[in-house]
């Protein structure tokens, strides 16, 4: 008997049998027949969240594909007709960065020197680098999806549908251009939307600065605090809370300071020797009593620049946003680099000083010309210390936003940017979200619900190249017009080619006649956030409203979608935002939110960390069924 056991293999050939099953499905068109057989049956609608074809699949994608296969497969077995149109997300910075790397160029200047037309051609080619790998991956794990007729976000049909939607948003007065403080990536040279910023935070340790600002009318100093020393050369004011109590004190270091009473001990006690007093209070006052009190410019270059503007600067302002939780109770104001600063700047009509350029480097107006802002921090602190203006530079740890595409530290920076007024439809967003069955419910009411409660206007425009061009044409007379279709563009233009490609640089050459003054209108230079692409897929995948009207209406909203929890502020949000703006209803009925796949230490698997399991090796070793069951 033992000899018999020795001859029986424990290998049941799962991998080979799965391959044979997959071949049978493909040879006989089983998936296609499962849809065709139910022609005329009730629809169960599923939306495929589009992966980017120029990135490789990882083991976490097995999880999403298992869930996205199981539910539609079950509904098909229950007699429903379930279309499963594949999709490819093809625009955006990841593609541009990949092409830059391939061509050996770096940044916008070098892209434009290389040539926009050949660069765009490389981008279009690059997005398909791993298409075959993705299709093979999906087939290997048994994921049924229509790869023969996918939606592709860079096609004219898809873009035209987006233009239709953007025109509707523009005509409702919800698309506007504003000069605002925006999160900005200096490496990519473009602003980011708030939902993009939410995906890129990292805990960092840095030095803040407590700085002595010399009063102009007495031998005393304001002690002000900032977490961004690089903004100090652009300082034009200080800010106190008008209702809180401030003190004038003689400190143990010999200086006379103004600062918040609540923070005296925290800031000044380290100055005192054992048994000695750290400070003597000379006077108390409310913050409002310090309003307009002048001080000397911290940097000579700032004072010279401000004189040229003809505006008043370098005095104390008041605003309730100043808190007593940390710092000194006095903050420095640089209106070009923070929303609160900008608000105070408008209130007091402060001069606009922006000593940082679009590359995130200090300008020639400063002693730090050409230095990246984060690298300027220690140099600025050293100079202030040598000038006797630095009180301290305490270390602190905080979550800082990095560009989710290139990992560069973001800066908050004043720019002209196109926005969608999501704040105007906040109540509609919340109402529509309340119709959705979220699994788990805590995501819909908590993470996603909280995001909607604190919604900000969508920073839509990108100062880049490979993306859906913003469909706004401008005239020198001030007229702006949103184009909603290729037909409309041709009807208003005398130079639009018959086979126009709706990408830069081709679309940039097309002019239209101004309906107001008869002058020449040109398209604005920006492209749009690629999340608008993915959020438009319910209608753009069918080229709605230009065709397939009945198909779209029968497939909207989705009965079911599923992605990872990181899409809460990504695809889940862009779908809800655009659907609310255009149709005023939720784009999905049921959302199954998946967690991240972790390694044995409980860390999220990431190729950059080197802790990710290769999905193809695992599938070849154990078979898809075992891994599907595992997930």
Residue with tokens 């984060």: 374
Selected catalytic residue, list 531, 533, 541, 559 = 531
3-class SS string, 161-210: HHHHHHHHHHHCCCEEEEEEEEEEECCCCEECCHHHHCCCEEEEEEECEE
For domain 205-401, give the CATH superfamily.
Answer: Valyl/Leucyl/Isoleucyl-tRNA synthetase, editing domain (3.90.740.10)
pLDDT attached to residue 53? 66
Phi, psi of 447 (to 5 degrees): -55, -50
Q: What is the DSSP string of 446-471?
A: IIHHHHHHT---EE-EES-SSSPBP-
Instruction: Give the residue with greater pLDDT, 166 vs 6.
Output: 166
Express each pLDDT in 371-402 by its tens digit: 999 999 999 999 999 999 999 998 887 778 88
389 classed as catalytic: no
Geometric angle at alpha carbon 333, from 327 and 338, rounded to 5°: 95
Strand stretches in 490-539, DSSP E: 511-513, 520-523, 527-528
Residue with tokens 């068109």: 29
pLDDT attached to residue 218? 92
The answer to whether residues 68 and 51 touch, using CB atoms and an 8 Å cutoff, is no
Instruction: Give the residue with greater pLDDT, 510 vs 188.
Output: 510
134 classed as catalytic: no
199 classed as catalytic: no
| Measured torsion, CA atoms of residues 575, 579, 560, 437, in degrees rounded to the nearest 10 | 100
| Measured torsion, CA atoms of residues 368, 371, 375, 380, in degrees rounded to the nearest 10 | 10
The answer to whether residues 248 and 356 touch, using CB atoms and an 8 Å cutoff, is no
Q: Sketch the domain layout of the chain as residue ranges.
A: 205-401
50 classed as catalytic: yes
Selected catalytic residue, list 69, 89, 377, 529 = 89
Express each pLDDT in 40-66 by its tens digit: 999 999 999 888 767 788 888 899 999
557 classed as catalytic: no
Selected catalytic residue, list 404, 418, 567, 587 = 567
Express each pLDDT in 431-490 by its tens digit: 999 999 999 999 999 999 999 999 999 999 999 999 999 999 999 999 999 999 999 999
589 classed as catalytic: no
Q: What are the structure tokens assigned to 530, written together?
A: 């690629």
The answer to whether residues 395 and 206 touch, using CB atoms and an 8 Å cutoff, is yes
For residue 351, count other CB atoms closer than 10 A to its CB. 20
pLDDT at 4 over 60: no
Express each pLDDT in 94-141 by its tens digit: 899 899 999 999 888 899 999 999 999 999 999 888 888 989 999 999
Selected catalytic residue, list 50, 335, 409, 615 = 50
For 221, how many CA atoms within 13 A lie in the half-sphere containing its CB?
21
C-alpha span between 324 and 356 (Å, rounded):
29
The answer to whether residues 411 and 186 touch, using CB atoms and an 8 Å cutoff, is yes
Express each pLDDT in 425-446 by its tens digit: 999 999 999 999 999 999 999 9
C-alpha span between 580 and 431 (Å, rounded):
10
pLDDT attached to residue 189? 80
**Can you state the angle between helices 156-171 and 571-583, rounded to 10 degrees?**
60
pLDDT at 576 over 70: yes
607 classed as catalytic: yes
pLDDT at 5 over 60: no
pLDDT attached to residue 8? 58
Selected catalytic residue, list 319, 341, 571, 587 = 571
pLDDT attached to residue 608? 64
Selected catalytic residue, list 202, 347, 375, 607 = 607
Express each pLDDT in 589-625 by its tens digit: 999 999 988 888 888 877 667 787 888 999 999 999 9
Selected catalytic residue, list 214, 440, 604, 625 = 604
Express each pLDDT in 269-291 by its tens digit: 888 887 788 999 999 999 999 99
């Amino acid at each position: 008997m033992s000899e018999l056991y020795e001859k029986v293999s424990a290998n049941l050939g799962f991998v080979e049998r799965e391959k044979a099953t997959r071949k049978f499905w493909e040879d006989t068109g089983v998936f296609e027949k499962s849809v065709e057989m139910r022609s005329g049956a009730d629809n169960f609608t599923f939306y495929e969240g589009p992966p980017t074809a120029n990135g490789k699949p990882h083991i976490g994608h097995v999880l999403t594909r298992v869930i996205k296969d199981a539910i539609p497969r079950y509904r098909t077995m229950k007699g429903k007709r379930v279309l499963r149109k594949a999709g490819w997300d093809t625009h955006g910075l990841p593609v541009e960065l990949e092409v830059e790397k391939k061509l050996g160029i770096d940044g916008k200047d070098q892209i434009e020197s290389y040539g926009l037309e050949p660069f765009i051609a490389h981008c279009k080619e690059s997005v398909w680098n791993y298409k075959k790998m993705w299709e093979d991956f999906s087939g290997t794990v048994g994921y049924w999806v229509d790869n023969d007729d996918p939606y592709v976000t860079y096609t004219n049909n898809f873009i035209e549908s987006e233009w239709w939607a953007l025109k509707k948003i523009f005509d409702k007065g919800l698309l506007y251009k504003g000069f605002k403080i925006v999160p900005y990536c200096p490496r990519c040279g473009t602003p980011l939307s708030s939902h993009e910023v939410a995906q890129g935070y990292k805990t960092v340790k840095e030095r803040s600065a407590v700085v002595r600002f010399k009063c102009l009318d007495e031998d005393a100093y304001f002690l002000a605090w900032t977490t961004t020393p690089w903004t100090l050369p652009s300082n034009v004011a200080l800010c106190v809370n008008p209702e809180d109590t401030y003190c004038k004190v003689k400190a143990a270091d010999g200086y006379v300071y103004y600062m918040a009473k609540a923070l005296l001990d925290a800031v000044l006690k380290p100055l005192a020797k054992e048994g000695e007093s750290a400070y003597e209070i000379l006077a108390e006052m409310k913050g409002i009593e310090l309003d307009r009190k002048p001080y000397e410019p911290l940097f000579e270059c700032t004072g010279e620049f401000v004189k040229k503007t003809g505006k008043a600067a370098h005095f104390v302002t008041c605003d309730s946003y100043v808190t007593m939780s940390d710092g000194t109770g006095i903050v420095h104001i640089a209106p070009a680099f923070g929303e609160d600063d900008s608000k105070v700047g408008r209130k007091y009509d402060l001069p606009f000083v922006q000593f940082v350029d679009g590359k995130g480097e200090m300008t020639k107006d400063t002693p730090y010309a050409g230095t990246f802002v984060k690298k300027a921090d220690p140099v600025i602190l050293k100079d202030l210390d040598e000038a006797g203006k630095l009180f301290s530079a305490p270390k602190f740890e905080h979550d800082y936003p990095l560009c989710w595409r290139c990992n560069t530290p973001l800066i908050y920076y004043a720019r002209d940017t196109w926005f969608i007024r999501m704040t105007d439809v906040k109540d509609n967003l919340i109402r529509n979200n309340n119709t959705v069955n979220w699994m788990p419910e805590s995501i819909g009411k908590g993470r996603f619900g909280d995001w909607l409660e604190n919604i900000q206007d969508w920073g839509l425009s990108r100062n880049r190249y490979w993306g859906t061009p913003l469909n706004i044409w401008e005239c020198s007379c001030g007229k702006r017009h949103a184009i909603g279709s290729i037909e409309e563009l041709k009807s208003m233009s005398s130079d639009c080619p018959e086979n126009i490609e709706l990408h830069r640089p081709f679309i940039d050459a097309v002019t239209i006649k101004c309906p107001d003054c008869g002058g020449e209108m040109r398209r604005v230079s920006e492209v749009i956030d690629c999340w608008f692409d993915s959020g438009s897929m319910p209608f753009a995948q069918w080229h709605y409203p230009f065709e397939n009207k009945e198909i779209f209406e029968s497939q909207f909203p989705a009965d079911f979608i599923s992605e990872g929890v990181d899409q809460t502020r990504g695809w889940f949000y862009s779908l809800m935002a655009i659907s609310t703006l255009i149709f005023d209803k939720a784009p999905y009925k049921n959302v199954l939110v998946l967690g991240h796949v972790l390694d044995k230490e409980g860390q999220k698997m990431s190729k950059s960390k080197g802790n990710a399991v290769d999905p193809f090796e695992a599938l070849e070793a154990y078979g898809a069924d075992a891994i599907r069951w595992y997930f």
